[in-house]
Amino acid sequence: MTTLAASKVKGDDDGPVLAKLPREPLHDRVYKELRRALMAARFTPGEQLTLRATAEKMGVSVMPVRAAFNRLVAERAVVLLPNGSVAVPQMSARRFEELVELRATLEGLAVRKAAKAITPAELDALAEISDELTKAGMSGDGELYLDLNKAFKFTIYEASRSPELFGLIEALWLQFGPFMHNYAKDVRAHGVEDCHREVLAALQARDGAAAEKAMTSDISGGAKFLASVATFAP
Amino acid sequence: MTTLAASKVKGDDDGPVLAKLPREPLHDRVYKELRRALMAARFTPGEQLTLRATAEKMGVSVMPVRAAFNRLVAERAVVLLPNGSVAVPQMSARRFEELVELRATLEGLAVRKAAKAITPAELDALAEISDELTKAGMSGDGELYLDLNKAFKFTIYEASRSPELFGLIEALWLQFGPFMHNYAKDVRAHGVEDCHREVLAALQARDGAAAEKAMTSDISGGAKFLASVATFAP
DNA sequence: TTGTGTGATTTGTGATCACAGTATATCACA
DNA sequence: TGTGATATACTGTGATCACAAATCACACAA
């Protein structure tokens, strides 16, 4: 009591006195690690992931891996083989087109909504990322460019204040990620890294339609470039 | 060998002699049953579902239930409580608006795509469902109306030939379903059951824009009605 | 009456085991 | 050397158990 009262006096209402240690189940960590590896294209498309092998590689039992696999299957980040095994999905031309169209639709909607809801602080953060993005584009660091690109876009989607929409977009990126990262080094050759400046300007002007247009053209442009250099599965 | 040859002679290539028993894991059945119950609003929003209780109710071990819960959490059909339990989600006004907007966007896109890809056979099936729908609308059977309504729409979405889009729409319906079914009996009072005729006509004319417009107006109209009679969680 | 500490119960989590199915490798035989 | 059957290993699946954390209830004291 006395300590609690004392801390109250100090003015820390939500208690930074003691760090709230986040109870994170093992299967969550496995899931995140798998997701990270998937995003970073650490697996080759079509590769089979077996329960016991991945469990042993990560030094855990099969149980957490099973739970993580279930989640990834439900999110379509991996595909379920008829015998129950999972495999990292292949990207066909049809699926690619579909995902691009969905990305353009949903991310366009998110930008439009963000134009109405974004805060000045978020706009400042966006401007800073945009600056780093142009620098990364000139330096030719493909990996950094992709990371900043993602940070830029997801800051906007977060600002749309639509958690459901945000979740759908995240799911799409999870399917897109592994494929995109294969061509990270080629992205810098794209040269069209000015779209984010347009998006930022439109957001600052609160012009939702212009922001959406800039974002969708950025997505379809990037997709067109990607389609030109990538090889697809039948 | 001889028996195999003999069966070949008999002409049963894919063997309708013995039904091919579809190996369906137990956790799949549990998942589907849970999903069905969720759709039929068998649980009250906010209700907690515990592993052992549901396992005992369904007469299975906790393992399949665990897998099913994981899937449902990943699909946002249930929410994950901080202690790891799951609960059927509450529908807030904000979430309702968000889901309606997403449904209008994605289902509109699906109809537009279906207008270009739908086959004559599918159009015939759609016309038949449409007739039954008008009859159900007049008879006042809310449950049947909802079922036919779903069949009508999903036939169209299937015809869009976009499995990824179809999956997203399914996920949205899974979140919508429990809430909608609570007001199944009120739906017949809605009176605006002519939208599907417009959609059908537009599809027959291959007019994607008109079909999309009719579909989105149907969705937002239904949502407006639902919002007027439903009570939301804070 | 209200707050507090303690005990019991219930919770999810993770490991291990048994099992049935399938694919693979191995070996015998022609 | 090629072909066949058999045996071996490996797959996901599901059940059971142990454990720790959280929750709840109840008794006790201020």
Query: Would you say residue B11 has pLDDT above 60?
Result: no
CA distance B165 to chain A (A): 7
Work out the pLDDT band at B213, boundaries 50, 70, 90.
very high
Burial class (CB in 10 A: 0-12, 13-18, 19+), B28: middle
CA atoms within 13 A on the CB side of A156: 33
- Residue A5's pLDDT is 37
Measure the CA–CA gap between A197 and B42, rounded to whole angstroms: 50
CA angle A208, A210, A215 (to 5 degrees): 95
Backbone angles phi, psi at A49, to 5 degrees: -110, 120
- Residue A144's pLDDT is 87
Q: Would you kindly state where each structural domain of chain B is located, as residue ranges?
A: 24-87, 93-229
What are A218's two structure tokens? 């950025």
Which fold would CATH assign to domain A25-87?
Arc Repressor Mutant, subunit A (1.10.10)
Q: CA distances (Å), B89 to each of A1, A68, A128, B79, B212, in order? A: 36, 22, 37, 6, 30
Q: CA distances (Å), A36 to each of A29, A40, A41, A179, B140, in order? A: 10, 6, 9, 13, 52
Superfamily assignment of A93-229 in CATH? GntR ligand-binding domain-like (1.20.120.530)
Amino acid at A58: M
Top mean pLDDT of A197-201, B182-186, B187-191 is at A197-201
Dump pLDDT digits (tens) for B67-100: 999 999 999 999 999 989 999 999 999 999 999 9
- Residue A9's pLDDT is 36
Measure the CA–CA gap between B99 and B106, rounded to whole angstroms: 10
Query: Would you say residue B57 has pLDDT above 90?
Result: yes
Beta bridge partners of B221: none
- Residue B191's pLDDT is 56
Contacts for B100 with CB less than 8 Å, ≥ 6 apart: B219, B220, B223
Question: Measuring CA to CA, which residue among A25, A57, A135, A195 is closest to residue B69?
Answer: A25
- Residue A11's pLDDT is 37
Measure the CA–CA gap between A77 and A177, rounded to whole angstroms: 10
Please report residues of A whose CB lies closer than 8 A to that of B25.
84
In order along chain A (234 residues), what is the average pLDDT of each group of 10 residues? 37 50 88 94 93 96 97 96 93 96 98 97 96 85 86 97 97 90 70 79 97 95 88 88
Work out the pLDDT band at B177, boundaries 50, 70, 90.
confident
Q: CA distances (Å), A165 to each of A4, A77, B38, B103, B135, in order? A: 40, 18, 22, 11, 36
Q: Which of residues 50-79 of A touch B (CB under 8 A)?
A: 66-67, 70-71, 73-76
Q: Which of residues 173-192 of B touch A (CB under 8 A)?
A: 175
Q: Which of B70, B101, B102 sits opposite A67 (nearest CB)?
A: B70
Measure the CA–CA gap between A29 and B150, rounded to whole angstroms: 38
Cβ atoms of B138 and B115 within 8 Å: the answer is no
Dump pLDDT digits (tens) for A160-193: 999 999 999 999 999 998 888 887 767 666 655 5
Dump pLDDT digits (tens) for B108-134: 999 999 999 999 999 999 999 999 988
- Of the listed ranges A102-111, B118-127, B163-172, B194-203, the least confidently predicted one is B194-203
Which fold would CATH assign to domain B24-87?
Arc Repressor Mutant, subunit A (1.10.10)
